[in-house]
Amino acid sequence: MPTTGKISYSDEGSSSECILCLHGIGGDEKSFEPQIKELSKIFRVISWNMPGYNGSVTLEDYSFKNLCLSLDEFLSDLNIKNVTLIGQSIGGMLAQEFYFRNSSKVKALVLIATTSAFGGKDETFRKKFLEKRLKPILEGKRIKELAKSFVPSILSSSASQNVVEHAIKSMEKVPEETYKKVLECLVTFNRYDEFPLIKIPCCLIAGSEDNNSPSKTMLKMSKKLSASEFYNIENTGHLVNLEAPEKTNNIIIDFLKRIK
C-alpha cells in the first residue's frame, strides 16, 4: 500500500479526473472496494486511510480543522489540485468541511449516508451518544469484540454475510484510541446553516434502512442545494455503498459523467 509519509492509501486508475474516497469511523480504504474496482475503469480513484487508521499517522488534536489540514497536505503531496470527494458517514462530513475551507479544490461532492450536522441542537443528545458509544471501550471491551456486535446493527436486515464480514474486518483494525478520538470529533460537526451555500454539483445517496443518517434527512439536505441529486436505495443501511455496490456505482458514474 502506498504512503505519502503520513497517510496510507490505495490508488487505482490513470485518468486525469480524480476521485478521493473518505471512509467512516469503522472503516478504512477498503470501505470503498466496489467503487474503486468499477470507477477506476473511468477515473483515477484514491481511497485514503484517515489519520490514525491502517498505517496513517494519527493527529494529536483530532478535529475537523486538523483533518482538513491533513487532507489538504495529502492532496498537495500527490500534486492533486482539483478533486471530486466521495464521503460516507463522517467521511461525508469531512468532505463538506473541506469544501467550505478549500472550495476551489473541490469539483463535486458525493455524500453517502451522512448529514450536515451531528444530531440535533440539544447538547444532551451529543453527550448521551458519546457516553453510549464510548462505554464499551472504557469498560475494557476490545474493538474486535465491538465490531462483531456493532457492524450488524448499522446494516440493513438483508445485508449479505460477505458485506457483514467485510465491514467487521475493517472496523477490527481501528485502534481503540483512534476510535475514541474520532467519536469525540464526530459530535462537534455542524455545517447545518452553511450547507445551502454549497455551489458545486452534489450527489446525495441514502439507505432506506439507515437510522444513523435517515433518507428523509438527506432528502431535506438535497432540497437546500441549487445543484443536487438525491437517491434513496431500498433495502440498504448505513453502509449503502457496500450493501448495494452496483446501484451505487451506477449512480456515481452517471452523475460524474453528467457534470464533466
Residue 4 lies in a domain: no
Residue 13 lies in a domain: yes
**Amino acid making up residue 35:** Q
Residue 84 lies in a domain: yes
Residue 1 lies in a domain: no
C-alpha cell at 213: 443518517
* pTM of structure: 0.97
Residue 41 lies in a domain: yes
pLDDT of residue 120: 65
Residue 183 lies in a domain: yes
Q: Let me know the angle formed at the C-alpha of 38 by 33 and 40, rounded to the nearest 5 degrees.
A: 90
Task: Give the model confidence (pLDDT) of 201-257 as tens digits.
Answer: 999 999 999 999 999 999 999 999 999 999 999 999 999 999 999 999 999 999 999
Residue 65: pLDDT band with limits 50, 70, 90: very high
| Nearest partner of 116 among 13, 15, 195, judged by Cα | 195
Distance of CA 179 to the CA centre of its chain: 15
Task: Give the model confidence (pLDDT) of 235-251 as tens digits.
Answer: 999 999 999 999 999 99
Number of compact structural domains in the chain: 1
Range of the domain at 143: 9-258
pLDDT above 80: residue 15? yes
